[in-house]
Structure 1
Amino acid sequence: MSWHISLCFISFFSLFLLSVVTGILGVYFSLHQFCFFIDWHICSLNSSNIVMTLLFDWVSLGFMSFVLFISSMVIYYTVDYMSGDFNIVRFVCLVLLFVLSMMLLIISPNMISILLGWDGLGLVSYLLVIYYQNFKSYGAGMLTVMSNRLGDVAFLMGIAWMLNYGSWNFVFYVDFMGASFEAKLISFLMVFAAMTSSAQIPFSSWLPAAMAAPTPVSALVHSSTLVTAGVYLMIRFNALIISSGAAFYLLFFGGLTMFMSGLGANFEFDLKKIIALSTLSQLGLMMSILSMGLPELAFFHLLTHALFKALLFMCAGVIIHNLGDCQDIRFMGSLSLYMPLTSSCFLVSNLALCGMPFLAGFYSKDLILEVSSLSTLNLISFVFFFVATGLTVCYTFRLLSFTIFGSFNFSSSSSLQDDSWFMLSGMCCMVFMSVWGGSLLSWLIFPCPYLVCLPPLMSAFPIVVSLVGAFIGYFLSFYRYFDNLLSLKYLFMSFFSGTMWFMPYISTRGVGLVPLISGRSVLGLFDHGWCESLGGQGAYVLFARSSSILQVLQLNLVKGYLLAFLIFVFFWFLF
């Protein structure tokens, strides 16, 4: 066994054992309602103590357990998927740095230490997106890092305003900030930062573009790390968001994101982008339920979604791997005949995404829809919730019909089979969690279950919406020629919906035409212009010339000085 394979196995076992330990501690903390603050005294500088505070409660320990478990399965999956890569050691190290940054973000009750994890996620995600080193990856990496950099700026401004409270340990102040000006400003800055990280409108374009990264990275990013960092931040700041009035904007943009991504996935033919848009839809759902003041319910859906979304990307990676790096679903079909185990895992993960009864996604999605029906939502938000649910089932059944149940459209000389032991065994572990994880989590997070009292029509409404969405998705895939003709007839509508409401163009060309060009002009006028002349460059020229004159004076040439003085006096009297 080569040493890079040994590194993968060591990383897998270490992360898996840490996941088991943190999971057991999380259950223990949840049952006894424990919450530990650990102050780590790093050093003292001039009587000032530099202390790092760590927060361990059932939320942080449970989320850490899920992140470590999914990352261990992803690294185990990587042994086969990246076996032909010469830089697999670099890849595993980047994944471990990614997980370490997420751990730092999860256990930090302090805004400075959260920023370290937040920036670590942004930097390492950029390195992973450009991993394949081509022009498409470079463009996607720049879009990813620049979108997340906006959130970093908002986070830094929030850190500056937190100085008004005398400390950056926000967990001590969040419940008592009220509706003051500082509290409102900090809450809006945190919402802005979370929207960039979780790719809410208008920052959604970077999430499908980040599919340029290797598939194991996508499984990790879209399930439990980068995109969920914003949701986790909103869970911690939820009391402040509700009291300051920022929840309305979070509900509006979350509902728009749900609808936009669900509609766009029905016009997409790239396998990984369809799954990325489904992630975007579920993130909008989490943000919307957070805006209603239900952080535990959002956290529940965050964990269940992480399980089946990681499995969904792992299955997509096996399919792409076997089809010679083909990602177009129009070239797939009848995969259940050639890859039965992968197709079964893919089917389970998709049904969990749809909220099929008694799978992991059912327990969280059905509860979210029932609670939203029970709440005082306005009509537009109510329509967003249920239409987005129908669109999710629609694009899922369209995807299943194209890939698993449709006619085989790939090359007849291709060899498709389930022969990747490491990938399949990692996927089988995730299948177990995708089936049983939802019920286990519902018993742990909600020991006293929700009491939902709805009329029979409202109780049956989620099932009716799902059945209608499934029928439309099957119809669109079965009558694919009708679908193409319809798209040609309504070309603008299909192009508008399929390009995420023109957001990729706005985020690249739209931003580049005015702000970046004007920024370059301002840079040449100020930073490279008079600021340089009166600043560092001007001072350098002045000191260089002065030193050369002083160097000549220090040579003690008395005759030369006398001659220069006489010439100066002569010209003085002459003019």
Structure 2
Amino acid sequence: MINLLMNCFYMILLFIIFFFLSIFLNLMNLSYMWEWMLFNFNGMNVEYFILIDWISSVFISVVMLISSAIMLYSMIYMKDEIYLSRFTWLLNLFIMSMILMIISPNLISILFGWDGLGLVSYCLVIYYQNYLSYNSGMVTILCNRIGDIGLLMVIGIMCMIGSWKMYFLNNNYLFILIMIFLASITKSAQIPFSVWLPMAMAAPTPVSSLVHSSTLVTAGVYLMIRFSKFFMSTSVINILLYCSILTMFMSGLMANFENDFKKVIALSTLSQLGLMMMILSLGMGLLSFFHLLTHAIFKSLLFMCAGIMIHLMNNNQDIRFSGNLNEYIPFTMMSFYICNLSLVGFPFLSGFYSKDLIMEMIYMMKMNLFLGGMSLLSLSFTLSYSLRLFYLIFFCQAKGLSFYYYKENMLMNFSMLILMILSLFEGSVMMWLFFFDNYFLFMEVFVKLITFVMLILGMVMFIMFMKNFLNLYFFSFFFSSMWFLNYMYFWNYKFYLIYGMSLSKFDNSWVEFMGKNFLLDIFKNMKIYMNMYKIFMFIFINLIYVVMLYFLI
């Protein structure tokens, strides 16, 4: 317990230092870079870089503030945990890995923080050590390893250039950019790698609050923001636009059918990540970073409120059984109400400044009508699932469960109070300090009213979903199952898994002792797998993705 308190104190101190440092660097237009040569290999310098500019400083300050609030929250939430010191060490390692990634502009130095995030996130997801946690942890780390392989391939291929510095790249190295793009979309859970994010909810709630607000899922967005200038002249950025808008649409629609409390919030995170990637792919990385900062505050508070509500409901996460909770935990419900309004983009809360600016920039662009419509529908879905969550928790009667005795704790309330105040004022403070000079728009009234019309449509959708307008079993099952992406992985991976198991016999004995039995085993396993239905599904799914990539490029 004392370790958590000391960590909280040091993190608040670091938050103050880095926040004022970011203001200074922004006003003076300064940045500092340190370089250490670790060793020289075959004419190449393996160097470790540290870049301190206002972007990295303000991001570190936000991570430190959220981490300090979560440490205070965990002192009460995890007080009955036997291995509390292990939990504290894992959180510290996770925060340290994120900071290493934030301050690293070089691919070699990025790898230290990048792999640390993947490994420690796996340890945190399987923290409760049950069947669900192990499954979720394996899906999380395997999806993230796909992106890590992309980063490792970039490091290997850039040996041809003679340096791992990104500014030596030119437009001829399209494959390198594709691999960096792959690393970014796996870590930020864009389509088709969106499966792992809702499954990672098996972690403890303080971990979910940290991982899905400002650290792991934003690492991919931050990497793309840093390297966005290299992508703008290539066709990779068009693929990112399609992936991000599809992710926004899918996660927003799925959240309207989901009943697990933490999964609804995870899907809202996925929707906001799609929004960040969308505006980034349109050439406004700084605006994407602005939304990343505002989203981190209210999303961490949203998870904190969810943890208290789950405890009150006797560890039940089904929102259909909850209701009328404002009579039992008024401060928590007030915090939940404010951060939910900030998520929707209610005027003059923190989420409004970034979301409204993003939508206005989209209206000013020459965007495809279909993509523009999808992004506007995703905006309506955000209001729809937020109203649904709010209605079920506030105004419905609790069903089927007796309330667990719970009394609000002052320390937890204090940690939430900090984030609640920031959810009110952070957007305006960040706007005036860092972003006001970059974006100032003037548009006609009827264009400005498009957002208002889409919000009214979101209210209509909320009524339709509550009235079970799509009450057909197939629709509900399809919309709430991540569009069968997990089955796509199963069909695609099964052939390679069987083939890999056959090839693993190389490791068990020498090749010459295997003889023809090795080939016979391969053909026998392939014969078991290759019936007509599975061949058709395997070819059909891969063909769809190949055709999509061809037309997008």
* TM-score, normalised via structure 2 length: 0.89
Q: Which amino acid aligns with 1:118?
A: W
**Is the CA contact (8 Å cut-off) linking 2:297 and 2:423 kept in structure 1?**
yes
Whether the aligned pair in 1 keeps the contact of 2:181 and 2:236 (CA below 8 Å) is yes
Query: Pick from 334, 346, 354: which aligns with 1:344?
Result: 334
1:197 aligns to 2:178 (yes or no): no
Cα gap change, 1:413/1:367 in structure 2, threshold over 3 Å: closer, same or farther?
closer
Aligned partner of 1:519 in structure 2 is 500
Structure 2 residue aligned with 1:124, among 120, 144, 156?
A: 120
CA distance in 2, matches of 1:425, 1:495: 40
CA distance in 2, matches of 1:533, 1:353: 63
Which residue does 1:364 correspond to in 2?
A: 354
Aligned match for 2:171, one of 175, 179, 195: 179
Partners of 1:532 and 1:92 in 2: CA distance? 51
Q: CA deviation at 1:423?
A: 1.6
Identical-pair percentage:
44
Superposition deviation, residue 61 in structure 1: 0.7
Contact 1:131 1:137 in 2 (8 A): yes
Residue 474 (structure 2) aligned to one of 477, 492, 516: 492
Q: Offset of 1:422 from its aligned partner?
A: 2.0
2:206 matches 1:225? no
| C-alpha distance in 1 between matches for 2:42 and 2:140 | 41
Question: What is aligned with 2:239?
Answer: 249
Residues in 2 aligned to 1:18 and 1:452: alpha-carbon distance in whole angstroms: 35
- Does 1:447 pair with 2:436? yes
Aligned to 2:343: 353
Give me the whole-angstrom Cα distance separating, in 2, the residues matched to 1:512 and 1:118.
Answer: 25
CA distance in 1, matches of 2:181, 2:328: 46
CA deviations over 1:50-106 (Å, ceiling 9, x no partner)? 642110001111111111111111111100100111011100100000000001001
Equivalent position of 1:422 in the other structure: 411
Alignment-mate amino acid for residue 171 of structure 2: A
- Is this contact kept in 1: 2:11–2:65, CA < 8 A? yes
Listed one character per residue, the Cα deviations across residues 134-183 of structure 1 (whole Å, up to 9, x for unaligned) are 0110000000000000001111111122223322122x33xxx3421x1x
Which letter maps to 1:424?
Answer: N
* Distance in structure 1 (CA, Å) of the matches to 2:500 and 2:59: 41
What SS does the aligned partner of 2:139 have? Answer: helix
1:456 aligns with 2:456: no
Contact 2:44 2:163 in 1 (8 A): no
Write the letter of the residue equivalent to 1:476.
F
In 1: Cα distance, 2:230 partner to 2:438 partner? 26
1:354-377 deviations in Å (ceiling 9; x for gaps):
000001110000000000110111
Q: Where do residues 81-160 of structure 1 align in structure 2 (5 Å cutoff)?
A: 81-160=77-156
Rounded Cα–Cα distance in structure 1 between residues aligned with 2:55 and 2:282: 19
Q: Report matched runs for 1:64-83 at 5 Å.
A: 64-83=60-79
Counterpart of 1:55 (choices 51, 54, 59) is 51
Contact 1:342 1:424 in 2 (8 A): yes
Q: Does 1:328 align with 2:309?
A: no
Residue 11 of structure 1 aligns to which amino acid in structure 2? N
Which one-letter code corresponds to 2:439 in the other structure?
Y
Whether the 8 Å contact between 1:215 and 1:314 is mirrored in structure 2 is yes
Match of 1:502 in 2: 484
How far did residue 123 of structure 1 move? 0.2
- Residue 178 of structure 2 aligns with which residue? 188
Q: 1:469 is matched with which residue: 450, 458, 467?
A: 458
Which residue pairs with 1:528 in the alignment?
A: 508
1:387 counterpart residue number: 377
The CA deviation string for residues 239-290 of structure 1, in whole angstroms up to 9 with x for no partner, is: 1111222110000000000000000000000000000000000111111111
**Any conservation in 1 of the 2:45–2:163 contact (CA below 8 Å)?**
no
The CA distance in 2 between the partners of 1:411 and 1:162, in whole Å, is: 59
Contact kept, 8 Å, 1:332 with 1:410, in 2: the verdict is no
- The alignment of Structure 1 onto Structure 2 pairs a total of residues equal to 514
Runs of at least 5 residues in structure 2 that lack an aligned partner in the other structure: 515-553
Q: Which is further off, 339-348 or 442-451?
A: 442-451
Q: Given residue 104 of structure 2, which amino acid in structure 1 is its aligned partner? A: S
Q: What is the CA distance between 1:532 and its match in structure 2?
A: 8.2
**Which residue of the partner structure matches residue 436 of structure 1?**
425
* 1:360–1:435 CA contact under 8 A, matched in 2: yes
Select 2:364's aligned residue among 366, 370, 374: 374
Counterparts of 2:131 and 2:492, CA distance in 1: 19
Larger Cα-atom Rg? 1
CA distance in 1, matches of 2:404, 2:123: 33
Q: Aligned with 2:159: secondary structure?
A: helix
Per the TM alignment, residue 414 of structure 1 is displaced from its structure 2 partner at its CA by: 3.5
Q: Which aligned pairs between 1:217-296 and structure 2 lie closer than 5 A?
A: 217-296=207-286
Matching residue's letter, 2:5: F
Q: Aligned-pair distance for 1:116?
A: 1.1
Q: How far off is 1:450 after superposition? A: 2.4
Q: Is the 8 A contact 1:318 1:423 kept in 2?
A: no
User: RMSD in angstroms over aligned alpha carbons?
Assistant: 1.9
Q: CA distance change for structure 1 residues 108 and 498 in 2, over 3 Å: closer, same or farther? A: same
Cα deviation code 1:180-237 (max 9, x no counterpart): 1x1x111111111101000000100000000000000000011111100000000011
Deviations 1:95-142 (A, max 9, x none): 000000001001011101101111000000000000000011000000
**Distance in 2 between the 1:44 and 1:152 partners?**
24
TM-superposed deviation, 1:404: 1.6
| Contact 1:336-1:405 at 8 Å conserved across structures | no
**Which of 411, 427, 451 is equivalent to 2:401?**
411
Q: 1:425 to 1:532 in 2, by over 3 A?
A: farther
Give how far 1:412 is off: 4.0
Partner of 2:32: 36
Residues 413, 291 of structure 1: alpha-carbon distance in 2 compared, 3 angstrom cutoff: closer
Specify the SS of the correspondent of 1:329.
coil
Q: Give the secondary-structure state (helix, strand or coil) at the position aligned to 1:38.
A: strand
Q: Which runs of 5+ in 1 are unaligned?
A: 535-575
Matched position secondary structure for 2:80: coil
Question: For 1:162 and 1:315, how far apart are their aligned partners in 2?
Answer: 46
Alignment check: 8 A CA contact 1:102 1:225 kept: yes
Q: TM-score, normalised by structure 1?
A: 0.86
| 8 Å CA contact retained: 1:374, 1:452 | no
- Letter of the 2:419 partner, please give it: M
Q: The residue matched to 1:55 in structure 2 has which SS? A: strand
Q: Render the CA deviation track for 1:376-429: whole Å, top value 9, x for unaligned.
A: 111122112111000000000000000122222253454344x22222111110
Task: Indicate the SS of the match to 1:224.
Answer: coil
